[in-house]
Structure 1
Amino acid sequence: MGYLPIKDKDGWWKDTTSGCIESTDKHAYDKYMKTYYADQREKGEQIALQNEVSELKSEMSEIKTLLLTLVQDKK
């Protein structure tokens, strides 16, 4: 198994056996993974907020229905 450097791309190598292109720049990889995990965390927070808003809408609808029932019963 051998590696050939990619022309004009420092730190990038092509595996001659599998044809894979690989980076040997650990700093760039760590930076990418940090960004990736931050994005995943942000997406999770957005989903949680969307779920919370949906629950609040449902509860408000239920409260509205109960209030309308109370008002109609008093008539």
Structure 2
Amino acid sequence: MTQVHNRIKILRTERGLSRQALADAVGVNFQTVGYLERGDYNASLELALKLADFFEVPVETLFSLEPFPSLSGQLRSMKGE
């Protein structure tokens, strides 16, 4: 199975949400959120769209087939290092 990378944990914690609160908002079990965040489970298309809608971001901002660059790496490149 292809690994799908996601930014769920980053967006969830940025907004101060618990796994339970996010799960309730998108209609899944809180354990599912943990599985998604760890990469143990790939979201269905329906769930991916619900999560993107909840976070008000395009689905490709939340999910990718390639690993997302680290935030520290992005900051270094912005500073020209």
Give 1 or 2 for the bigger CA radius of gyration.
Answer: 1
Q: TM-score range by the shorter chain?
A: under 0.3
Relative to the length of structure 1, the TM-score reads: 0.24
Higher relative contact order (CA 8 A, sep 6+): 2
Identify, as 1 or 2, the structure richer in strand.
1
